[in-house]
Structure 1
């Protein structure tokens, strides 16, 4: 009887919960209860998502996937061996691994996005492009860390880390799945964490780089955009962008197809399905499998800590360059453009635009910057996809 109890206990996750895992941190090998640490991190993310409301639609499935994969002996990410099937999350993960889920997310985003503010003010495309500077700044930073011997980053890994600066989770996942799938867990956590922290990260940068006079600028109402313009936009952008950069086809193509569903007005059921049901289904599958890549060995190491640091730098620099370019446009327009809208150039849609609206109204209660900020915001989505295509072309 005692032997049966002993065998039962040995087969439970409890018996293995405190098993030490050898981890590499800053050149040192340390033995830590990796599973237990990761379970605590997962529970912290769940708290932030549920209690604090930080990106709950994404953070809850990601955190729960992280929790499940770190419960000992569950085997949810086990690879198939011979006739034995793999774990449930292993098969769901193939949609991420094969680059299927992120373009589907782009399809859904396109179906729910109004490109009207960008069409009405094409100059906002420049603000979206300026905010992508954070991507290339961080790429250089990762290369410098590699050449200095601090952390060993390959060019493909540096490119995957840099894309965090676009503040676009699906783009980061798509590029990482192609170039550095072993970094998918930490890059996803960094990308979505910083997206959730937009209301905390951006306002101090916005205040530091603009004057009170600039923040008070009230912009003129945007011109009406015709239905014909809205229909032609996704078609023209797809043709031009994909011919220029074929490696961006999956993301740009799906984004513009979703938008064409919306603007054509003749397929309301496809628009409704893509912008609602399909979006949530793919988000669940994407989130839980991305979290499932964050096991102790993959997450608790020097590279992950550097990824978190570089991701924050990428996001901050992207915000700053968007604002600085907004200041240039403020000067060249004779004070008619509020430079705060440059902060929305990072493609965290629509969170960054909402932050701009909130900050603008602090200094001028009659100010309404939301629609003006949506121009660079949706331009940032296109910009991050183009940047990903560029990096993919050079490092795949």
Structure 2
């Protein structure tokens, strides 16, 4: 739950005293002493939090996970599996005095993990993108075979792709209705002028998904595919001791792994302001070195790219706060998305023709 006395005027790093008191109690469960505790990030609206703590046994992170405890147990188990069974470069979880991975307090899961340092973001260029792609490919490969601990809910998005695609399609109608209802707002006209195009893209993506190998791939099951990070990017993949480290595994779930790569590539193209075949091929090749991309996976990736992900991601907030979201800023964002989208389709055609099995033809 969110902080009971959250107040935006107190700043993003404000933590209510009762949460600080809980942290004091949680720390008593561990066999170390803490000399300092610094807030790194908060999710006050959801009740999540990360501290960096200095201890007599080195720096650690202390986290409150905002998700349901049974859901959090899934990600905690995954983190332990990756470290203990696969020697992956993800932070190790510190056990309590009673040999538990977690402490439950205030209806939330708390846990302590190693604080990896030094960590350094990779360069914001094609070489950095290759490092990120290779690292997430390795993560996907190592996560295969994970079985969640007893009592954890199974977090899987493997079988939900059709529903997700249908949701994007359905929301296009809602976007249109909201833009009409608030027609005087700065972004409304631009949305009304573009939503038909993106709705058609969503419709075509649904057809492509139905015709793709998706059902056969999903039928292989959760453990066969392993885990996706779901929030992977330039901040959650960083260079550290021994190579690339992947952090913040709180949202991991079973899925066809290519979805993480789609988000990473799509985000990189958004940052570039256009779709670039050379960047994408470099990222695909780097990923493929760590986790081979079969022809079936590549076909699924192209289907994922065909969904209007960028438009949907940036416009969906109008459903919650239309009078705030339908701003001149969103108007500029949508116009930029349309420009980027025009560069996407020739690149996808080129990819389809040129890239197969880990190399460009």
TM-score norm. by structure 2 comes to: 0.26
Larger strand share, 1 or 2? 2
Report the TM-score, using the length of structure 1 for normalisation.
0.24
Q: Which has the higher contact order (CA 8 A, sep 6+)?
A: 1
